Amino acid sequence: MNKKTKGIIFIISAAFFFALMNTFVRLSGDLPSIQKSFFRNFIALIVAAGLLKKSGTGFKPQKGNIKLLILRSTLGTIGILGNFYAVDHLRLADASMLQKLSPFLVIIFSFMFLKEKVKLYQIICVITAFIGSLFVIKPGINVDIFPALIGVLGAMGAGSAYTAVRALSNKGEKGPVIVFFFSAFSCLVTLPYILFAYEPMSVNQVFMLLFAGLAAAGGQFSVTAAYSSAPAKEISVYDYSQVLFAAVFGFIVAGELPDKYSIIGYVIICVVSVIMFLLRETPTNSKNKN
């Protein structure tokens, strides 16, 4: 299995875990978004620490990567807080639309800062997949401008954070170290709010956030492995599979059935993903034939 195929598998796994995380976050009820964010990152921190200790790798990042790790963690924290704020203040469909901007932004940032070349068909595929996601989430027209801007800021934070993950991977930084550093950073940033404005939670809410944190850890490790394995231009389109997973979880949890527009969106996303994979394989196949 080559690195690009691994990247595709990992990014689809990340989409699954993040869709599961959002489901548990919604089931946790009416809690402040910062409090949800803290528990999400705290569980990921414990998981990352356990893996690092078990592997004997150590918690110390490689020399020269501290600044990039701080940048990745800062951008990732902005991404999480922006997304959670949008979910709390906008309709879920509108917040989801803004979150789906991040895969498109990954390719843009990778082109701008990592100088990764982007082919025309890759740009077309990502834009088409984004259009497909609009069919699924059907965003409304009347949106409060401030929460929407915060949601866009969150998407930019996530997209640029994943670009930083790719850069860290190119410098040889290990995935668990990246996840541990980011989770610890995010917990420290949100800790003052927890200390002074903590809201009591029921047993059910604690368990829902625990499961959300575990799912987030799975997603964080998967997305780190994905962008460490392959360039964003090759795999980011598969992140749109989160829309499909979210539809399945919505049916299981709330009995939500997709309408005709959602089905159109599913078809578009699946077809684009297949086309992207086939075009990606063409150069390799051509070399083998030669």
Domain ranges of the chain: 3-289
| Token pair listed for 81 | 């807080």
The model's pLDDT over 76-106, given as tens digits with 9 standing for 90+, comes to: 899 888 887 887 776 666 666 667 677 677 7
Q: Sign (positive/negative) of CA torsion 258, 260, 262, 263?
A: positive
Q: What is the pLDDT of residue 275?
A: 81
pLDDT of residue 286: 45
Q: Token match 């599913």: residue?
A: 266
Q: What is the pLDDT of residue 207?
A: 92
Instruction: Give the helix ranges, DSSP H, for the chain.
Output: 3-27, 33-55, 66-89, 92-99, 102-113, 120-137, 145-170, 175-197, 203-229, 232-235, 241-254, 260-289
Name the residue with higher pLDDT: 117 or 47.
47
Distance from the Cα of residue 263 to its chain's centroid: 23
Q: What percent of the chain is modeled with pLDDT above 70?
A: 87
Please report the pLDDT score of residue 140 as a whole number.
63
Q: What is the mean pLDDT of the chain?
A: 80
Residue type, 42: F
Mean pLDDT across the stretch 41-65? Answer: 82
- Helix 203-229 and helix 175-197: axis angle, to 10°? 150
Say if CB 35 and CB 261 are below 8 A apart: no
Quote the pLDDT of residue 281.
53
Read off the pLDDT of each residue in 136-145 and give the average, rounded to a whole number. Answer: 63
Task: Name the band, by pLDDT with cuts 50, 70 and 90, for residue 290.
Answer: very low
| Higher per-residue confidence, 101 vs 225 | 225
- The string of DSSP codes covering 126-168 is HHHHHHHHHHHH---S---HHHHHHHHHHHHHHHHHHHHHHHH
Tens of pLDDT, residues 276-285: 777 765 444 4
Q: CB–CB of 167/228 below 8 Å?
A: no
Q: Tell me what the mean pLDDT of segment 107-128 comes to.
A: 78
- Asked if the model's pLDDT at residue 188 lies above 90, the reply is yes
